[in-house]
């Protein structure tokens, strides 16, 4: 069975996937112009953007990577918890691309479900 490190080795480093100085500058500008997490905003929460998320996973496609119309502002919770579930459903063919946005009905439902398990304070049952 492949391990996480096997996957990381095949995938390459972040820098080799395009997350270089140019990306750092573009992401910083995007966060400045989109300071609030889209998913939290859809839930009526105010949370700072921590991550610039590619709505559609680019998987090495540099045209898609740089398509700012498919970037969305995300907090760590929405990027690491909600978006991962959305992408898994998308990869199985169970979700259309439009539902990968963090303010989609599916994303909001996942957010609410996950927050019921992991409270706003980050603790299970919190």
The pLDDT score that the predictor gives to residue 116 is 84
Q: Are 76 and 50 in contact (CB under 8 A)?
A: yes
Tell me if residue 16 falls in helix, strand or coil.
Answer: helix
Check pLDDT > 90 for residue 95. yes
The answer to whether the CB of 94 falls within 8 A of the CB of 105 is no
pLDDT band at 46 (very low <50, low <70, confident <90, very high): very high
From first CA to last CA, the distance across the chain in angstroms is 35
- With both helix axes pointing from N to C terminus, report the angle between 83-91 and 105-117 in degrees, rounded to the nearest 10: 130
Q: What pTM, to 2 d.p., does this model score?
A: 0.80
Residue 22 half-sphere exposure toward CB, CA atoms < 13 A: 7
List CB contacts of 105: < 8 A, sequence separation 6 or more: 99
Q: What percent of the chain has pLDDT over 70?
A: 77
Given a cut of 90, is residue 101 above it in pLDDT? yes
Over residues 1-36, the pLDDT tens digits come to: 555 455 445 555 455 555 678 999 999 999 999 999
pLDDT above 90 covers a percentage of the chain that reads: 72
Place of tokens 């096997």: 6
Confidence at residue 4, expressed as pLDDT on a 0 to 100 scale: 47
């Amino acid at each position: 069975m492949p391990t996480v490190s096997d996957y990381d080795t095949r995938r390459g480093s972040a820098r080799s996937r395009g997350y270089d100085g140019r990306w750092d500058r573009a992401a910083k500008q995007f966060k400045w112009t989109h300071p609030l997490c889209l998913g939290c905003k859809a839930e009526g929460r105010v949370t700072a953007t921590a991550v610039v998320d590619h709505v559609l996973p680019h998987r090495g496609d540099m045209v898609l990577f740089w398509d700012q119309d498919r970037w969305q502002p995300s907090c760590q919770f929405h990027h690491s918890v909600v978006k991962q579930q959305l992408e898994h459903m998308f990869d199985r063919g169970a979700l259309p691309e439009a539902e990968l946005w963090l303010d989609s009905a599916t994303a909001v439902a996942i957010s609410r479900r996950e927050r019921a398990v992991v409270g706003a304070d980050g603790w299970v049952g919190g």
